[in-house]
Amino acid sequence: MKKNYRHSSFVFLLILLLIFSTAFSIVSVEARKHHTRKSEIQHKHRKRQKNGSGNKATNYSNSPSPAPSPTPTPSHGFYPTQSPIFDILSFGAKGDGVSDDTKALEAAWEAACKVQGATLKIPEFQFLINPLTLQGPCMPNFVFQVDGILLAPPKVGSWPKSSLFQWLNFKWIHNFTIQGTGSLDGQGFNWWKLSQIDYFKVMKQSKSIPDMKPTVLRFYSSFNVTVRDIKIINSPQCHLKFDNSKGVKINNVTISAPESSPNTDGIHLQNTQDVEIHHSNIGTGDDCVSIQTGCSNIHVHHMNCGPGHGISLGGLGKDKSVACVSDIIVDNIILESTMYGARIKTWQGGIGSVKNISFSNIQVSDVRVPIMIDQYYCDKYVCKNQTGAVAISNVKFNQIIGTYTASPIHLACSNSIPCTDVDLIDIQLKPSRNYRGINQMGLCWNSYGKSQAPLLPSSIDYCVRNGSGFVRGISRSHEHVCS
């Protein structure tokens, strides 16, 4: 299977290359054809610059290389001394936070995409942008520099019904960086107000209310992407999402939304491999980092999380679906006032496996339940009992230290497939001053593995039964759907 993956990604790369080179030759011809037209447009831009009024941001003499290059750089000619800058203001953006600057961003993207090492600049003004897909492939080393504020449309009704999945969708891009001191503001407050009940009530009354809520920033089918320094705030739902991607670095980002905002995940990964997330601060109304099926080789470290629901693998295996998650390292995390700490959640009846997971050096304060495996995950009041489960094995909880408000640990493993090789090492958890629980011993069911002192409360020594669990001779054959 591994070989197959590699093979298919190779084929995919080849296809990408083919599309890319074809597109490039077309683009070159087009560029020559439309050279005159482009010069005209540029001329217009310059005229507008001179006008001055009507655009408070107009000082192009500041810009190191203001005019967008009309011709794409030849693929072999790389000029390292010059990083072409494509400023959104040069493409007709108003930057007043009220006018619709979507067209300007699209135009800047089109132009920058064709030039190697281009920087698309969002300067320190506010730009109202409608939902938009920015598509690659682009020339390598593309930097999207956000120093200003990009604003999503604030009214729920003003979102086109066809674009509710996300606000900014980066698709088919590789070797790309988004960075800067600015922010992406999802202006989600009107969406949060639609509580679950209101939501369905309004939906029934009026067809104009959508049944999904957008993610602020999504990368789809993209490779070698870096997200750093920026702020992503107030998403209607998820803030930063990667799906079907590979090679992701997220560094020094700040993600925030009020604790009361429903379902506002910080970072959400699905079917994505080779990811490093570090030195970032995330406080929202839902998961800090959410790792879903198809994810492997993920390293999350040196993060501050809270408020929210902590770091989660899953929910996996919903509606008897296949889930495969492996090779996850989570270390050096500070969690404050979150619902959970380190958590794995699966639905009953799922197929597949979660394996080789390590949570270490996790500091918790006022966390409801710091350690959790829940194989009975259910988002309703009660869910049907089902046999079969996503198998969980080789999970290490090492140095989980601090205070809890409800229970130190909750390991509820499947009746049909127990959790195996679950190790508890150096766990030191005390009830906080805000303790409101009833069970300081926690709950442990059907988990096997080993424990190693120090363990506090000492009762959790009994949480993991000696042995691998394999002794019960349970068929785990369905795990092989993942390998």
Ligand X SMILES: *[C@@H]1O[C@H](CO)[C@@H](O)[C@H](O)[C@H]1NC(C)=O
Residue 91 as a binder of ligand X (CB under 6 A): the answer is no
| 329 is an interface residue for ligand X by CB under 6 A | yes
User: Is 309 known to be catalytic?
Assistant: yes
Q: Which residues contact 32 (CB under 8 A, 6 or more apart)?
A: 71
Q: 141, 163, 361, 386: which one contacts ligand X (CB under 6 A)? A: 141
Residue indicated by tokens 């590789």: 174
Q: Is 1 in the site for ligand X (CB under 6 A)?
A: no
- Rounded to a whole number of angstroms, the minimum distance from the CB of residue 191 to ligand X is 25
For residue 39, state whether it binds ligand X (rule: CB under 6 A).
Answer: no
Instruction: Give the interface segment with ligand X, choosing from 30-38, 59-67, 93-101, 366-374 (CB under 6 A).
Output: 59-67
Q: Residue 181: what residue type?
A: T
Considering only residues 466, 473, 475, 477, which one is a binding residue for ligand X as defined by CB under 6 A?
Answer: 466
Can you give the C-alpha Rg of the chain in angstroms? Answer: 25
Nearer Cβ to ligand X (434/439): 439
User: Measured from the CB atom, is 177 or 234 closer to ligand X?
Assistant: 177
Report if residue 459 touches ligand X, rule: CB under 6 A. Answer: no
Number of residues binding to ligand X, judged by CB under 6 A: 28
Q: Judge residue 155's burial from the number of C-beta atoms within 10 Å of its C-beta, 0-12 exposed, 13-18 middle, 19 or more buried.
A: exposed
Q: Does 276 bind ligand X (CB under 6 A)?
A: no
Binding characters for ligand X, 230-249, by CB under 6 A (x = yes): -----------------x--
Compute the least distance from the CB of residue 250 to ligand X, in Å: 11
Q: 371-430: which residues touch ligand X (CB under 6 A)?
A: 382, 384-385
Interface with ligand X includes 175 (CB under 6 A)?
Answer: yes
> Catalytic pick from 265, 286, 366, 374?
286
Q: Does 174 bind ligand X (CB under 6 A)?
A: yes
**Closer residue to ligand X (CB): 159 or 223:** 223
- Residue nearest to ligand X according to CB distances in the complex: 327
Nearer to ligand X, 175 or 321 (CB): 175
Q: How many Å apart are CA 308 and CA 260, to the nearest integer?
A: 9
Q: With respect to ligand X, which residue has the nearer C-beta, 194 or 291? A: 291
Residue 177 as a binder of ligand X (CB under 6 A): the answer is: yes
Looking at this protein, which amino acid is placed at residue 390? V
Beta bridge partners of 248: 225, 275
The residue range among 104-112, 175-183, 208-216, 265-273 that interacts with ligand X, by the rule CB under 6 A, is 175-183
Member of 181, 208, 387, 458 binding ligand X (CB under 6 A): 181
Query: Does 297 help bind ligand X (rule: CB under 6 A)?
Result: yes
Of 254 and 270, which CB lies nearer to ligand X in the complex structure? Answer: 254
Give me the half-sphere count of Cα atoms (radius 13 Å) on the Cβ side of residue 73. Answer: 20
Residue 22 touching ligand X (CB under 6 A) = no
Residue 62 binding ligand X, by CB under 6 A: yes
Residue 81 touching ligand X (CB under 6 A):
no
Q: Does 63 bind ligand X (CB under 6 A)?
A: no
Nearer to ligand X by Cβ, of 430 and 476: the residue is 476
Please tell me which residue in 174, 239, 268, 309 is annotated as part of the active site: 309
Task: Kindly tell me which of 174 and 268 has the beta carbon lying closer to ligand X.
Answer: 174
Report if residue 116 touches ligand X, rule: CB under 6 A. no
* CA–CA distance, 115 with 135 (Å, rounded to integer): 14
The residue (of 262 and 317) whose beta carbon lies closer to ligand X is 317
Residues that bind ligand X (CB under 6 A): 48, 51, 53-54, 59, 61-62, 140-141, 174-177, 181, 223-224, 226, 229, 247, 252, 297, 327, 329, 356, 382, 384-385, 466
Q: Which residues are catalytic?
A: 286, 309
